[in-house]
Amino acid sequence: MLFAARSATALHRLLDVLPVFAGDDRIARRFTLVPGSEFGAEALVAVERAGARTVPWGRANADRFDLIVAASPKGGLGSLRGTLALLPHGAGFGKTLPDEGTEGAPSGLDPAFLLADGATVATRHLLAHPEQVARLAEASPQAAARAVVVGDPTLERLLASVGHRDRYRAALGTGARRLVVLASTWGPESLLAQRPGLAAELLGSLPCDGYQLALVAHPNERSRLGSFDLEQWLEPALRAGLLLPGPHAEWATLLVAADAVVTDHGSTALYAAALGRRTVAAYDGGRELIPGSPMAQLLAASPRLTAAEELPALLSAPVSNGVAEAADAAFARRGRALALLREELYGLLELAPVGPPPDPEPLPVLAQPPRVPTAFAVNAGVEGKRVTVERHPPWRRAPARFLAAEQGVAGERHAQSAGLLYRRAERSAAAHRVAWTAAGWIDAALDDHPGCATAGVALGADLAVLRARGGPLLALELAPLAVGGRLIHTDPAAALCAAHARLLQRPDGVGPFTAVVGGRPFPVALRPATPEEAGHAV
């Protein structure tokens, strides 16, 4: 059988169908690249990454296949020989491209692509919702007569991964923060095109101990810009902690892990809504969104983001019933998609399925660990025994009380400007190594950086050692918060920021106090460090 992909997006949809044929040695799986898309190169990369065997387009046209599966009707699919099953390459059919096909129609429901010489190209249309069959019937009764509702295999995979959410968030280092995903489709009306600075604006506005930010970019945008250029463009935001998942599967992992999605008119947000995630609209309008589509319903039901500083209030607002209703209008047969696909595809092959019913493959954790910011602009307010800390990227334009930098990791400009220098104790298995003691490193850091007022070492999740210039060596004990049967930990570097602010105001400020980090009150105690703590290898 042949999987025919015109773009990386279409290929990724086809990869989610593969579990239908798992364990069947009667099936030879081949992939071909359908010509005609400027985004096809990324599809080839994805096929090679998967280790699948490819067939050149010319050879694919010469051979005959028992079954051809595609997720886009565009290209010369009519020249292929074999039974063709066609799936959508997104959710909800909510986007039209004004300069191609029938005006106002999505390509997946457009007779310009579904018919060739008046005849239907596909033997079977495998759709996600009965409403899509009705829309197809309006455009082409011939094609609609060959349509079957099977659900959405990509949603199936997301739903099957919900139980892995804690593992995904742990791998991302999210903790108790709110994970907000920016979802951008491609083209001139996309989030990246219309609001290219939004990620940086949100990073500058939202305290990093309360929020974590990710960007899901459409594979076509990666193809247009190139992954290297995209990452270079986003480098300041990536350095500040922005997550940028890979285009296949990892974007879905982020949706499962997320608390909210800020979206344009791309269908990624419909999957988020189906998972029960909050959605916030950031679409500036145009010609591409199809009125009355599930995506149009979702945007109408979601609060609109006009400025970065509005987001916390929007995330606390009541959620409209229209969000779930929009998802319900896009997805049917939930939990049954792979079983129904198996029935239809094996029926087209005229074979009996073998083995147990297919199970969706759980989504992977991100291949690359998130980058941990190494310098922060810090605002800290001290009121009695309560210190409130907010950390932001160092390039934030708003004034800050002091700069905190991780010595040896942050750039030297930030290290020389820092009021607080810190490091994290390393665990090395090297046979030959030289290690500072905590006290030795602190003294050296203060000597080498005359502008630094405090230096500290995080020895673990709940213990640090620090010294304010001219003061004694202190130990900082940081307790987690117990909430709803869970223990919430915060970054000990944030607690060091709180201790630094307290010691600036009260050099004798030993004893217990509360560090409010990410809006949560963490119990902290400062006391004289023990000889063992002072001599801890770092």
Q: pLDDT tens for residues 463-511? A: 999 999 999 999 999 999 999 999 999 999 999 999 999 999 998 889 9
Stated pTM of the model? 0.94
Q: What is the pLDDT of residues 286-303, one digit of tens each?
A: 999 999 999 999 999 999
What DSSP string runs through 413-438?
HHHHH-SEEEEE------SS----BH
pLDDT above 90 for 370: no
As a whole number, the mean pLDDT across the chain is: 93
Task: Flag whether 287 is in a domain.
Answer: yes
Residue predicted with more confidence, 69 or 222: 69
Residues 129 and 210 grouped into a single domain: no
Mean of the pLDDT values across residues 260-280? 97
Q: Are 494 and 441 in contact (CB under 8 A)?
A: no
- Separation in Å, CA 227 to CA 168, 198, 220: 23, 19, 11
354: in domain: no
Contacts of 380 (CB under 8 A, 6+ apart): 387, 388, 389, 390, 401, 402, 497, 498, 500, 501
Helix and strand tally (H, E) in the chain?
Answer: 23, 23
Instruction: Tell me: do 141 and 176 sit in the same domain.
Output: no
Judge whether 466 lies within some domain.
Answer: yes
Domain extent for 310: 160-324
Question: Are 255 and 385 found together in one domain?
Answer: no
Q: Is the pLDDT of residue 49 over 80?
A: no
Same domain (yes/no): 277, 388:
no
Confidence of residue 39 (pLDDT cuts 50, 70, 90): low
Q: For residues 6 and 149, state if they share a domain.
A: yes
Q: Are residues 384 and 526 in the same domain?
A: yes
- Which pLDDT score is estimated for 42? 66
End position of a domain, from candidates 315, 349, 383: 349
Q: Are strands 402-406 and 420-424 parallel, antiparallel or unpaired?
A: parallel
Please indicate, yes or no, whether residues 314 and 338 belong to a single structural domain of this protein: no
Q: How confident is the model at residue 41 (pLDDT cuts 50, 70, 90)?
A: low
Of the listed ranges 137-146, 223-232, 258-267, the least confidently predicted one is 223-232
Residue 45: pLDDT over 90: no
Helix%, strand%, coil% for the chain, nearest 5: 35, 25, 40
Residues 373-389, mean pLDDT to the nearest whole number: 97
Question: What is the domain count for the chain?
Answer: 3
Please state the separation of Cα 133 from the chain's center in Å. Answer: 31
User: Residue 249: its pLDDT value, please?
Assistant: 86
CA distances from 216 to 46, 211, 244, 266 (A): 17, 16, 6, 11
Residue 134 sits in a domain of what CATH number? 3.40.50
Query: What tokens does 85 get?
Result: 């099953």
pLDDT at 44 over 80: no
pLDDT > 90 in the chain, percent: 79
Q: Are residues 309 and 423 in the same domain?
A: no
Question: For residue 165, what pLDDT is reported?
Answer: 98
Position 369 in a domain: no
Residue 57 pLDDT exceeds 80: yes
Q: Are residues 398 and 512 in the same domain?
A: yes
pLDDT tens-place string over residues 72-109: 998 889 899 999 999 998 899 999 988 888 888 887 89
Whether residues 129 and 219 fall in one domain: no
Helix/strand/coil (H/E/C) assignment for every residue in 106-147: CHHHCHHHHEECCEECCCEEEECCHHHHHHHHHHCHHHHCCE
DSSP secondary structure letters along 169-233: HHHHT-TTSEEEEEEE-SSTTSHHHH-TTHHHHHHHHS-TTTEEEEEEE-HHHHHHH-HHHHHHH
Q: For residue 225, is pLDDT > 90? A: no
| pLDDT value of residue 462 | 96
Q: Looking at the domain assignment, is residue 103 inside a domain?
A: yes
Residue 355 is assigned to a structural domain of this protein: no
**So what's the pLDDT on residue 223?**
78
Q: How far is CA 289 from the centre of its chain?
A: 23
Whether residue 38 has pLDDT greater than 80: no
Band of residue 346 on the pLDDT scale cut at 50, 70, 90: very high
Is residue 70 domain-shared with residue 178, that is, in the same domain?
no
| 406-435 pLDDT tens trace | 999 999 999 999 999 999 997 777 888 889
Report pLDDT for 236.
93
Residues 150 and 169 in one domain: no
Residue 271: which CATH number? 3.40.50.2000
Predicted confidence at residue 364, as pLDDT, reads 93
Residue 365 lies in a domain: no
Look at residue 364 and tell me if it is in a domain: no
Q: Is the pLDDT of residue 401 over 90?
A: yes
Q: What is the pLDDT of residues 120-131, one digit of tens each?
A: 999 999 999 999
> Does the pLDDT value for residue 202 go beyond 90?
yes
Contact 233, 260 (CB under 8 A): no
- Residue 372 pLDDT grade (very low, low, confident, very high; cuts 50, 70, 90): very high
